[in-house]
Amino acid sequence: MELFVVRIAGSLLAAAFAWAAIAKLANRRAWSRALEGYGLGRSTQAVAFWGVPLAEAAIIVVMLAFSARAAAALTVALLASFSLALLRAKEVRGDRLPCGCFGKASDRDYRLMLLRNAGLGVMAAIVLLSGPEEGLLAAASTPEAAEFAPAALALVGVLLAWWTVSQTMSAWRKKEP
């Protein structure tokens, strides 16, 4: 796979985890409320409160500075643990679970959160299978002019998909009693 595509996937992962980590640290009260909704034990919740944002920040640093593949492997492990936590909490609380992902503690359908994890997992798989051994900053080279148009179209596509999903979920929430 082209290094340019791998760099885009790795950069999107780094941006997503940066947003998530910063949001959790900036709104610790909402993050704590979201964790309470998963029925974790007190000690597990305390570890997750600081451990999750720390792991998300580690992905960013490792992805950019050290090893894109190692960061992708860490991403897959983190997403797997998030997904298992969702499935465990779903058995106890039902289909709607708190999401402390990007600074909000609102309840969301667990399937949407699993779908988000799958999308991030696909990007992580691209980096894991085809990424450079070094960090993305070390592997960076100047993209050719012909690479900008496809990258811009891909970015627009991702933004439109995100907007469509968010609008659909908003409409579904409004219809619920």
Residue 53 is predicted with a pLDDT of 92
Same-domain check for residues 171 and 125: no
Same domain, 97 and 159: no
91 is written with which tokens? 């058995």
Conformation bin of residue 103: beta by default, left when phi > 0, alpha when psi is -120 to 50: left
Domain match, 128 and 155 both = no
> pLDDT exceeding 90 applies to what percent of the chain?
37
**C-beta separation of 71 from 127 below 8 A:** yes
Q: How far is it, in rounded angstroms, from Cα 98 to Cα 37?
A: 6
Residue 131, pLDDT score: 81
Question: Is pLDDT of 142 > 70?
Answer: no
Question: pTM of the predicted model, to two decimals?
Answer: 0.74
176 & 101 share domain:
no
Structural domain harbouring 154: 144-177
| Residue 158 or residue 120, greater confidence | 120
124 plus 158 within the same structural domain: no
90: left (phi over 0), alpha (psi -120 to 50) or beta: alpha
Q: Average the pLDDT over 67-84 and give the result.
A: 94
- List the one residue out of 150, 157, 37, 49 whose CA is nearest residue 97: 37
Same domain, 14 and 81: yes
Domain count, the chain: 2
Q: Are residues 94 and 15 in the same domain?
A: yes
Q: Which two tokens stand for residue 133?
A: 């051994």
Are both 128 and 164 inside the same structural domain?
no
